[in-house]
Structure 1
Amino acid sequence: MINATPKNYQHLLALVFAVKEVNDNPKLLPNISLGFHIHDSYVDGKLTYLNTLNFLSPLERLIPNYSCGIHKNLFAVIGGLDSETSFFIDNILSNYKIPQNTPIPPRNTPEMPLPHPHKGSRLVSYSISAMMMNYENWFPSIYQMIPKAEHQYQGIVHLLLYFQWTWVGIIAVDGDQGARFLQMLIPLLSQNGICSAFIDKIHKLDSTDALTDFFFMSWFQNNLNLSVAKAKAKVVVINADARTVVLLNWILHSPAVENAIETTMAKSNDVLGFQDFICNVSSHWPEGDGFIRTFWQQAFNCFLSDSKEDEANPYRCTGKEKVESLPGPFFEMSMTAQSYCIYNAVHAVARALDAMHAARQKREMMLHPFLRSVSFNNSAGDSIHFNEKGELESGFDIINWVTFPNQSIVRVKVGRVDPQASLGQQFIINEEFITWHMAFNQVQPISVCNDYCHPGYRRKMKEGEPFCCYACGNCPEGKISDKKDMDDCVKCPDNEYPNKNQDHCLLKVLNFLSYGEPLGIALAVLAVSFSLTTALVLGLFIKYQNTLIVKANNRDLTYCLLISLFFCFLCSLLFIGQPRTPTCLLRQTSFSIIFSVAVSSLLAKTITVVLAFMASKPGSQIRKWVGKKLACAVVVLCSTIQIGGCCVWLYVAPPFPDLDPYSITTEMVAQCNEGSVIMFYCVLGYMGFLATVTFIMAFFARKLPNTFNEAKFITFSMLVFCSVWVSFVPTYLSTKGKDMVAVEIFAILSSSAGLLFCVFYPKCYIIILRPELNSKSYLSIKNK
C-alpha cells in the first residue's frame, strides 16, 4: 500500500520496475510471472483494513475466509509507508500467516491490540523515519528493509560530533513514535556532550487533504522559526512520519527558513535503467494504474480530460508534460531511499519464491524460511541479506539535499555510516562534497550554545544552565589550553613553559652561570685577581720571612692562612659553568674544608696571642703550652672535624647534577643538588661556629699588650667574615637559578678578601712603605 501523494508516486514506480525486472529475468522464477495490486491507504485505518481484506477475497466481492472461483494468488504484501498502516495490515495477515513485505516496522500504541508472538506475519520495512517500542518482542518474524534504528541514532551523533554541533533543536512527531525517538536519542546526545536547545512535537498528519497540508506547513514554519530564533540553534534534528517529512522538505528548503539545515541519513543507490523507466511515464500510462490521473493532475497543476469540449481550456493537460521537469521536493528522478527499499523488497520476495520452488516445496508451505535465508547482490551491487532479527545488514548513506534557486533539488551522497565496517571506517564523510544552505554563505554553520572558548581559556559552567552553555575563563598561571573548548587547562612538560597567551608551550632555556656571560666573566676575573694578590702577599712574606713582623704570631700559621686564602679564591671557579658530577662533588666540600683551614689558622693565631700574654706573667705554668705544636694542633683538629663531616656527606648523600624546572618559569635551572640539605647546613654551621669562636677570642684579646698584636685585625676581619655569611643565608634563599650561585661566589670572594685585607694589609703596609717600623731598633726605642 502507498500514500497517494505526488512525492510517493515514485514508490509505485519502483515496485512496477522491480516486478518488470523479475519477470524479464529468465533465470529467476522461470515460467512464473509476478503480478501485483496497489491500494491507497489514505492514511486511514478503516480503509487499510478494508483493502487488506480485499487482498484475501475473490475479485468481485469482499467475503472474508471464503475462496470461490478465480482468486488472487497472494504470496506476500508490501505494507505501508507509515507504522500504523503496517500494523493494520499485519493485524489481518498474521491470522492467515501470509508473508507481508511492509514498508516500516509497526509501533505499539496503547489503543491498539497487539498480535500474539506466534503469529506468522512477515514485514519488510523500507521507511527511514519510523520508530516503534520493542517491536521485535511482538513481531519476531518481521523483515525490515532498513538497518536497525539504533545504528541511525549513532550515525546522527557521529554527524553532529563531526561538525561540532553541540546545541541542536529536536523535533519529533507526537505520540509513541516520537517518544521512542526521544527516549533513545537524547541520552546518546548527552553522553556525547550534545545538548538539546529545544524539543518540539508536531502532530502526525492523518489526512491527505491539501488544505491540511497548507495549515500544517504554515504552523510548522512559524513555530520552527520561533524555536530556532529563541534557542539560537542552527541545526535541527527532525523525526517524523514519511508524509510529514515530504512537507518538511518544502519548508526546510524554502527561503523563509534561514536557520535550519537538513542532512538526511538513508540508504539508496542508483539502479540501472530506473530513470529511463521513469522518463517513459506519461498521462497515457496503462489503464491499470489508478494513480496516474491523480498524480498527473497534482504534479502539473492541470486536469486530464478526453472531452473535445475541454480542448480550449488553458488548464487542460496537454499530454506533453515531462516528469523530469518537476521540482525535486515534489518528485525526484533518482531513486529515493524508500523506493530503493521497495525495489529490494520485491527482489527479496522473488528470490525467496525462486528458492522455495527450486526446493520443490508445496505452495501451502510458508515462505518465511526462504525469506529469512535470502542473500543476493542487487543490480546496484549492494548485498541484501537479513540478520537473525530480520533486519537488513546494511548501513546508511549520508545525503546532502542541495537546493537551487529554481527550487530543484539534487541529492548528493557525502558519506556513509556502516556498523559492519572495520574500525575507523564505520563513519566516513567527504566534506568537500557538501553544499551548505545559502543562508550560511556556503560555509559550515556553527551551532553551539555560546562562542567557543579559544586556546588559552577554559570552560566554566554556568549555574542553572545546560552543560553545553558555559563561560570562558583564563587558564591559571603555569597552565595552557591548546585546543578550543577545553574543560581544564593542563601543565606544560617540565622542560617547557606557557607562552604569554597560554595557548602553547615553549622550550625552557637552560639556566646556569657560564663563563660566557658578563657576570660569570666578572666573578672569574675577580677570583683570579684575588688569588694572584694572595700569591703576591705570600711571596712578599717569604721574602721578608726573617723580619720581626713576619715572625710575630707564628710564621707557619701565616703561610697556612695565605695558602688557604689562595685556594679559597680559586675554589669559587668551581661554581661557574654547567654543573657536572666532579664539580658538584668538589664545590661545597672543597670550599668548606679550605675555609675551615683558614678560620682555624686565625683561631690558632688568636690562641697564640692569648697564651703569649698569659705566659709573660711571672710564675705562669702556661708558658709550656706556648709554641708551634699547639698552633698546629688547633689547625689540624679543627680542619679534621670538617673533613670528617664532608666525608660522611659524600658517603651518605653526595651532591649531584640536577635540573630544577620549577624555580624559574621560563628556564630550566641546571644546578648541583646538595644531596643532603642537613649535611650542607651542618658543614656551613660548623664553619660559622669556628668563625664565632675566633671572633669572640680575638675581640677580648684585641687590647692585650704585645708587639705586633694581630688580635685587633683578626677581630675586624672576623666581623667582616661573619657579616658576609650572616647576610648570605637570607639572600641565598631568596634568589633562584644562577643568581644563587653568584651570591655564593660573591660571599666566598668577599669573606676571603675581608680576611686577606684586614689581616695582611697593615703588615704589607709596614713591610713595603714603613720598613723602619719592622726593625729591632724601633722595637727597642718603643720598649724604653
Structure 2
Amino acid sequence: MSHPGDIVIGGTFMIHLERVFNDLDFTTKPSELQCQLFATEYYQSMQALIFAVEEINANPELLPNTTLGYQVFDTCFTLRKAAEGTLSLLSGGNVITPNYHCLKGAPLAGIIGDSWTTTSILMAQILGLQRYPQISYFATNPILSERNLFPSFFRTIPSDEFQMRGLAQLISHFGWTYVGLLANDNDYGQFGLQTVKQEIINGGGCVAYAENILTGQPNRNAPHLVNVVKKSSAKVVVMITSDFDFVAVMEEMLRQNVTGITWIASEAMSTSNLLSNEGLKGIVLGTIGFAIHRGKMPKFTEYLNSLSPSKNLNDAFIGEYWEQIFSCKWPDKENLNIGTENITMKACTGREKLGSLLTEEYHRVSLNVYTAVYALAWALHSLQNCSPGNGPFQHGSCANISSFHPWQLLHYVNNVRFKAQDGSQVFFDAKGNPPPIYDIVNWCAKDKDILEPVTVGSYDLNAPDGKTLNIDTVGITWNNNDTQVPVSKCSPSCTPGSRKVIEPGKPLCCYACARCPQGYISNQTDAVECLPCSWDSWPNLQRTKCIPRTTEFLSYETPLGFSLAAITIFSSLVPLIILGIFMYYKETAIVRANNYSVSCLLLLSLFLCFLCSLGFIGYPQPEKCLLRQVAFGMVFDLCISCVLAKTITVVIAFNATKPGSRLRKWTGVKVPYVLILCCALIQLSICLIWLIFFQPFHELDIETKPGIIIVNCNEGSSTAFWCMLGYLGLLATISFIIAFLARRLPDSFNEAKFITFSMLAFLSVWVSFIPAYLSAQGMYTVAMEVFAILSSSWALIVCIFLSKCFIILFRPNMNSRENLMGKGRHYR
C-alpha cells in the first residue's frame, strides 16, 4: 500500500497477527506465506501514518514545497514479511534487489516500524548498514538502545528497561510478594522476564514460577501454562506477551475454568481490543498493567470515521477492516456461513457508518506512529532549511532535500526537538529513546458491561515531584468486581510481635512466623528481625512495644515490707523493756546471779539486732548496701559473744568451787569482757577485709526475673559474706556445745540449758536460712534474711530471758537468795 511523494516514508505494521501454519516436508517448495486474524488496532495505527503524512502535506509551514509519500507493508507478525518489506523499500520497487536501489524515484527518508521487537532488530540491522533512520512505535527491547549495534534506530515508546522496573515497582506497591511470570519466548518476553524477575527479587519478593509462552506452537503451550497457574498459590501473574498470545492462554484458562487470578499486563497487550472479548470477561476483569502513554487526537478520530471502502480505493486492507468492525462479509465472499451452528453473517454494503463505533479521542499506539512521522518531518524540515556555510557537515555544507544521503538525515533525527499537540517536548536521547512515561490501566466493565481499559495512574520517571508511580487505588476494580486489593503471598503475614523465619529449601517469601523471643519486640507486619528492648524496658504481652520494667525491692509500701518493718519495731522494744526490768530489779537475786552486766550488754545487742533488720527494708541506697551486712554481722557477733561469755562464766563459776581448781583466777569480772572483745575483733577483721577489698554495691538486676528490675545490694564477695555468717555459726556452735555439756549443773544457777535451747534454735534458723536464701529471688531473698534475723533474735529473747522475767514479775517469792541457795544445797 503506497502513495507517491517527493520523499517517501516507509512503514511496517502487524495488520495481521498470525500466519497460516503449514507443515514443512522439505520435499517441495514452501507455499507463499498467508496471513490471518486481522488486527483492527494496528490497522488504525497504520492509518495514523497516512493521516500524519496528509496533515504535514497540508501544512504550509512544515516542509513547504515538498510532498511526503508513503509505502507501508504488513509484516504479519513474522520475520520473513518484515525482511521482505524492508528490502523492498531499500530496492525502490516490488522486486527485491539487495544493495541496489533499482528505480530512480523519490528518496526514502526512513522507516516507521516495526511493532515487534524481534522484527525491529532484524530491520535495524539491515537499515543500520546504510544509516537509514528507523523509528519504531512499539519495539521496546533495551538492546535496541545499543548505538554500536543499531546506530540509526529510534523509538517513540520507552525502553522495556523502564517498563519492567515499573512493573516490579507496581507489584511492590500493592504488597504482592509471591507472583508468577509468563513471557513470550522471543526477545521481548525473555528480556522482560529476566528483568522483572530480578527486580522483584531485589524488592524482597519471590517468583513462584517463570514459564515461556511458545509462540511457534499453535496452542502457545497454553495447557501446560494453565496447569502451572492452577497448582501455584500465587494469585498474581505478570504477562509479558502480545495480546494475541495472551488471548490464547486466556481461552485455555476459560476451558479449564481457572478464575481468581489477577493479571499484570505489559504494554504490548494491556490496551488491546482483543481483551474486551465477552467470553473472557470473567478472567480478564481486574487486569492491571502498563500502557503506552495516551494523547488526545480528535482530528485523527474524525479521520478514522471518514474512512470508507468507496473512498479509499487504494487501501488494500479496508475490506477486512470493514468486516471486522461491522461483523459482516462482503457479498463476493464464497461462504457467508460460519461457525458450528451455521450462523449466517450479514453482508457488508460499504454504507455502514463508523461514527457510532469510533468515538474515543485518546489514542496510544496511533499517537506513537503519529509522533514518529512528525519526528522524520521535522528532521527533513531542518535539513531543508539548512543555510550553506552554516551546515552541520564538512566545511559547513548542507544536504539537498531532493537527493540527500541517509546518514545526513540521521544527523537531524538525532537532534530533532519539537512540541507535540499536548504541549510536551518530543526528542530522543543519546540512545534514541524518548522521555519515559507510561499510563497504568485497569480493565473493568463500563457501559453495557463491556470491558475496557481505564487509566488509573501513571509511571513517569521525569515527574516534577519525583514521585514516579502515581495510582488511584480506590478507582481500581479487581477480579470478581472486588474493591479490596487481592493478596498474593506464599505465606500469611506475620503479625506484629512475631518475625519471619525462612524455611530451608523454599523461596525467601515462603516462611514461618515465630514469636519474638523474650526481651524483643516487632511493631510491624512481616518483620524480618525482632528488636531488643532497652535495658530498663520490657515487651508487653503481645510483644509489639516496649514498656518500662517494674522495679522490685523490699519496700515499706508492700504488705511484706510493711509487716516486717512493724514486727521489727515492735520486736526492738522487747529487749529494751527487759533491759528496763533488769535495771529496775538489778539488786534481786536472779538478776545478780545471771551476770547482770553481760545480760544488759546482750539485751542491748539484741535491740540492735532487731533494728539492723530495718537496713534491709526500703530502697537499697549505696550507703545502705555498704553497711547493712557489716552492721548485721557485728551486732550479731556481739550478741553471740555475750551468750558465749555467759556460758563460759557459768561453767567457770561452778568448776572454780571445787578444791584445788585452777579456774579460781578466771572468775573475775574482766574475763567475759575480754572474751567478748576478742570475738568482736575477729568479726571486725573479717568485715574490714570485706569492706576494703570487696565492697558491697548497689545493683540493678535485670536477668533474674523477666520484665522486672530487681534493685538489690550486691555483696561484692559471696565468700566474705559466708565467712562472716560462718563465723557467727562457729560462735553459736561453740556456745551450744559448752552449754550442752553444762546442762546438768544445779538449776538455780544454771543458764546452760536455756542457752542450749537458744543456740539450738539460733542454729536451726540459720541452717534453714541457707537453702531458702539461695533459692529465693528478688525481694524475697532480702525478706528471708530479715526473717532469719528476727527469728534468731526472738529465739534468744525467749529462751534466755522469758523465764527470768516471768519469775521477776509473777513469782517474786522465787526471786530470793535463800531460794536459790537452797536449791543449790539440795543439788549438792
Q: Normalising by structure 2, what TM-score?
A: 0.79
Residue in structure 2 matched with residue 701 of structure 1 by the alignment:
742
Who is 1:345 aligned against? 372
Pairing partner for 1:431 from 470, 473, 491: 473
Aligned to 2:76: 42
Is the 1:458–1:475 contact (alpha carbons within 8 Å) kept by the matching residues of 2? yes
Name the SS of the counterpart of 2:456 in structure 1.
strand
Contact 1:592 1:642 in 2 (8 A): yes
Displacement of 1:431 = 2.4
Q: Secondary structure at the match of 1:546?
A: coil
Match of 2:775 in 1: 734
**One-letter code aligned to 1:535:** L
Identical pairs, percent: 37
Residue identity opposite 2:240 in structure 1: N
What pairs up with 1:73-222 in 2 under 5 angstroms? 73-103=107-137, 126-128=138-140, 130=141, 138-139=149-150, 142-204=153-215, 220=222
Superposition pairs of residues 481-520 of structure 1, within 5 angstroms: 482-486=523-527, 492-500=533-541, 507-520=548-561
> Which of residues 349, 363, 366 in structure 2 aligns to 1:335?
363
**Contact 1:228 / 1:259 at 8 angstroms: preserved in 2?**
no
* Partner of residue 759, structure 1: 800
Task: State the match for 2:408 in structure 1.
Answer: 366
1:434 Cα deviation (Å)? 2.4
Aligned-residue offset at 1:268: 0.9
The 3 A distance-change label for structure 1 pair 22 and 682 is farther
In the TM superposition, what whole-angstrom CA distance separates every residue of 1:288-313 from its partner, at most 9, and x where no partner exists? Answer: 55444432321221356899xx9xx9
Structure 1 residue 409: deviation in Å?
A: 0.7
Query: Contact conserved, 2:748 with 2:823, CA < 8 A, in 1?
Result: no
Counterpart in 1 of 2:649? 608
Contact kept, 8 Å, 2:52 with 2:374, in 1: the verdict is: yes
2:814 equivalent among 773, 778, 784: 773
Alpha-carbon offset, residue 761 of structure 1: 0.8
Alpha-carbon distance between aligned partners in 1 of 2:171 and 2:283, rounded to the nearest angstrom:
19
Q: Is the Cα contact below 8 Å between 1:270 and 1:335 reproduced in 2?
A: yes
Contact 1:606 1:711 in 2 (8 A): yes
TM superposition shift of 1:602? 1.9
- Classify 1:773/1:231 alpha carbon distance in 2 versus 1 (closer, same or farther; 3 Å): same
Q: Determine the C-alpha separation between the residues in 1 that align with 2:788 and 2:557.
A: 21
Answer whether contact 2:13 2:42 (CA < 8 A) is retained.
yes
Q: 2:440 maps to which residue? A: 398
Alpha-carbon distance in 2 for matches of 1:74, 1:260: 45
Say which of 19, 31, 54 aligns to 2:88: 54
Which segment drifts farther, 521-530 or 372-381? Answer: 372-381
CA distance in 2, matches of 1:454, 1:569: 55
Match of 2:625 in 1: 584
Distance, in Å, in 2 between the alignment partners of 1:637 and 1:423 is: 89
- Residue 721 of structure 1 deviates from its aligned partner by 1.6
Give the C-alpha shift of residue 2 in structure 1.
1.0
Return closer, same or farther for 1:133/1:47 CA change in 2, 3 Å cut-off: closer
Whether contact under 8 Å (1:659, 1:669) holds in the other structure is yes
Structure-1-length-normalised TM-score: 0.83
1:252–1:261 Cα contact (<8 Å) kept: no
Q: Is 1:235 the counterpart of 2:236 in the alignment?
A: yes
Post-superposition shift, 1:750?
1.1
Q: Which 5+ residue runs of structure 2 have no aligned equivalent?
A: 1-11, 16-38, 251-268, 337-344, 392-397
Contact 1:233 1:259 (8 Å CA) reproduced: no
Using the TM superposition, name which of 537-546 and 674-683 deviates more. 674-683
Aligned 8 A contact 2:656 2:664 in 1: yes
1:171, distance to aligned residue in structure 2 (A): 0.9
> Does 2:320 align with 1:294?
yes
**Is the 2:550–2:709 contact (alpha carbons within 8 Å) kept by the matching residues of 1?**
yes
Aligned residues: 741
Q: Cα deviations across residues 540-577 of structure 1 (Å, max 9, x unaligned)?
A: 11212222332335333222221222122222223333
Read off the aligned partner of 2:369 and give its amino acid letter: I
Question: Given residue 725 of structure 2, which amino acid in structure 1 is its aligned partner?
Answer: L
8 Å contact kept, 1:141–1:389: no
Which residue of structure 1 aligns with residue 36 of structure 2?
Answer: none
Instruction: Sort the Cα spacing of 1:376 and 1:432 in 2 relative to 1 into closer, same or farther, 3 A.
Output: farther
> Structure 1 residue 321 and structure 2 residue 353: aligned?
yes
Where 1:399 maps in the other structure, the secondary structure is: strand
* Structure-2 separation of matches of 1:371 and 1:634: 117
Instruction: Please identify which structure carries the higher strand content.
Output: 2
SS at match of 2:455: strand
3-state SS of paired residue (2:713): strand
Deviations along 1:34-64, one digit per CA (max 9) or x if unpaired, are 5543322122333322322332344686655
> Equivalent residue for 2:586?
545
Q: 1:488 to 1:282 in 2, by over 3 A?
A: same
Could you tell me which amino acid in structure 1 is paired with residue 443 of structure 2? W
Letter in 1 for 2:808: I
Per-residue CA deviation, residues 177-216 of structure 1 (Å, 9 max, x unaligned), is: 544444444344445443333333222279xxxxx6xx66
2:287 maps to: 262
- After superposition, residues 577-656 of structure 1 pair within 5 angstroms as 577-656=618-697
- Counterpart residue identity of residue 451, structure 1: P
Q: Counterpart of 2:327 in structure 1: which amino acid?
A: N
Cross-structure match for 1:718: 759
Q: For 2:457 and 2:133, how far apart are their aligned partners in 1?
A: 36
User: Structure 1 stretch 46-55 or stretch 188-197: which is displaced more?
Assistant: 188-197
Which whole-Å CA distance do the structure 2 matches of 1:371 and 1:53 have between them? 22
Q: 1:114 maps to which residue?
A: none
Please state whether the residue corresponding to 2:109 is helix, strand or coil.
Answer: coil
- The answer to whether the 8 A contact 1:17-1:277 is kept is no
* Deviation of the 1:501 alpha carbon: 5.2
After superposition, give the CA deviation of every residue in 1:199-257 in whole Å (9 maximum; x if it has no partner).
33222279xxxxx6xx66xx74x655433222132111111246535776646985565
2:73 counterpart SS class: coil
- Aligned-partner residue type, residue 552 of structure 1: A
2:626–2:691 CA contact under 8 A, matched in 1 = yes
Tell me if the contact between 1:282 and 1:319 (Cα under 8 Å) persists in the aligned partners.
no
Note the residue ranges of structure 1 that are not aligned, 5 or more in a row.
104-125, 207-211
**Is the contact made by 1:398 and 1:417 (CA closer than 8 Å) also made in structure 2?**
no
- Whether the 8 Å contact between 2:305 and 2:353 is mirrored in structure 1 is no
Deviates more, 1:541-550 or 1:468-477: 468-477
Mapped to 2, the partners of 1:430 and 1:258 lie a distance apart of 22
* CA distance in 1 between partners of 2:713 and 2:524 (Å): 37
Residue 702 of structure 2 corresponds to residue 661 of structure 1? yes
Indicate how the Cα distance of structure 1 residues 620 and 269 shifts in structure 2: closer, same or farther if over 3 A, else same.
farther
For 2:679 and 2:57, the matched residues in 1 are separated by 117
Q: Which one-letter code corresponds to 1:624 in the other structure? A: K
Distance 1:91 1:509 in 2: 77
CA–CA distance in 1 between the matches of 2:687 and 2:465?
Answer: 64
SS in structure 2 opposite 1:42?
Answer: coil
Q: Which residue of 2 aligns with 1:560?
A: 601
- Residue 437 of structure 1 and its aligned partner are, at CA, apart by 2.2
The superposition leaves residues 85-138 of structure 1 with CA deviations (integer Å, 9 ceiling, x where unpaired) of 2133223322322121134xxxxxxxxxxxxxxxxxxxxxx335x475996663
| Separation in 2, partners of 1:496, 1:610 | 61
State how 1:276-291 maps to structure 2 within 5 Å. Answer: 276-277=301-302, 280-283=305-308, 289-291=315-317
SS of the residue 1:607 aligns to: helix
Q: Distance in 2 between matches of 1:511 and 1:374?
A: 79
Matched with 1:414 is: 457
Q: Partner residue of 2:264? A: none
Matches of 1:324 and 1:670, distance apart in 2: 86
Call closer, same or farther: CA 1:444–1:630 in 2, change over 3 Å: same
